[in-house]
Amino acid sequence: MEQDKQLKEILFNSTEEASADFTNLVMNKVYALSSSSGYQPLVSSKLKKLFVLAFVITVGAILSLCLAISFANTNIVGWIESIPLPHLDYKKLLLFILIFWVLFYLNMLWERKVHLHSHRNI
């Protein structure tokens, strides 16, 4: 009981010395901090566009090659088979590409979510 009286006395004495616009100053600082999002995306928008462009070009090249192989009368398959390829673990390469694009997409969704959330609070 004595501690409650001391606590009330401390609170009462400390609030008397606060300036009249103390609450407004604090709330303005809180608003300024909340409105400025400290979130930095992992990938910049220019780099995202470059990744998407590289992806589209790669997919287009693969589709073009598949169409050329399927419709051409020349022996393109023999030419492709004669190219010496390094012994790579293609499963790991495909897994890397898949993980990269999944994380890229998740980052894009996260950025969109944070961006929409910051606009709702304003």
24 pLDDT tier (thresholds 50, 70, 90): confident
Is the per-residue pLDDT at 30 higher than 80? no
Asked if the structure places residue 10 within a domain, the reply is no
Whole-angstrom distance, CA of residue 80 vs CA of residue 68:
12
Asked if the structure places residue 110 within a domain, the reply is yes
Asked if the structure places residue 52 within a domain, the reply is no
Asked if the structure places residue 71 within a domain, the reply is no
Asked if the structure places residue 122 within a domain, the reply is yes
Asked if the structure places residue 118 within a domain, the reply is yes
Whole-angstrom distance, CA of residue 52 vs CA of residue 49:
5
72-103 pLDDT per residue, tens: 666 656 666 677 767 767 678 778 888 998 99
Question: Who wins on pLDDT, 58 or 63?
Answer: 58
Q: 113: domain range?
A: 87-122
Asked if the structure places residue 68 within a domain, the reply is no
As for how many domains the chain has, the answer is 1
